């Protein structure tokens, strides 16, 4: 049994880029408030117990959408619907990171 921790990809520029960006999920109830947008790590990534997902597994989400995704507030979305919404938001985030010059076009959709 291999108990070696997998090293996760960290990129502080990706996380900092979320500041004042538009929410890429826009779930029902989204506040559209760029001031509350943060880089939200995927709760669906296979990163292990107690480990945060890689910094390529992020989406720019406002406080409301982040809370829905993390199930801090109730919503009508199923787990599978939230997973699909996050995947779409992650792709839009990657496109934005590319537009900002922080991610190569060939890296869009790639999870490290």
Q: What is the pTM of this model?
A: 0.91
CATH class of domain segment(s) 12-43+50-107? alpha beta
* Cβ pair 52, 8 in contact under 8 A: yes
Domain ranges of the chain: 12-43+50-107
Calculate the CA 4 to chain-centre distance: 25
Give the whole-angstrom CA distance, residue 39 versus residue 37: 7
Higher pLDDT, 90 or 6: 90
Share of the chain above pLDDT 70, in %: 92
- Give the mean pLDDT of the chain: 92
Of 16, 95, 25, the residue nearest 67 (C-alpha)? 25
| pLDDT over 80 (residue 94) | yes
7-55 pLDDT per residue, tens: 789 999 999 999 999 999 999 999 999 999 999 999 998 766 678 899 9
């Amino acid at each position: 049994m291999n108990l070696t921790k997998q090293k996760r990809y960290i990129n502080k520029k990706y996380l900092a880029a979320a500041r004042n960006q538009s929410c890429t999920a826009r779930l029902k109830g989204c506040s559209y408030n760029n001031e509350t947008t943060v880089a939200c790590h995927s709760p669906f990534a296979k990163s292990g117990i107690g480990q945060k997902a890689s910094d390529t597994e992020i989406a720019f989400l406002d406080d409301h959408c982040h809370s829905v995704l993390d199930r801090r507030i109730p919503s009508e979305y199923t787990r599978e619907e939230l997973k699909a919404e996050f995947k779409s938001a992650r792709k839009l985030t990657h496109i934005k990171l590319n537009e900002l010059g922080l991610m190569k076009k060939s890296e869009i959709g790639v999870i490290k």
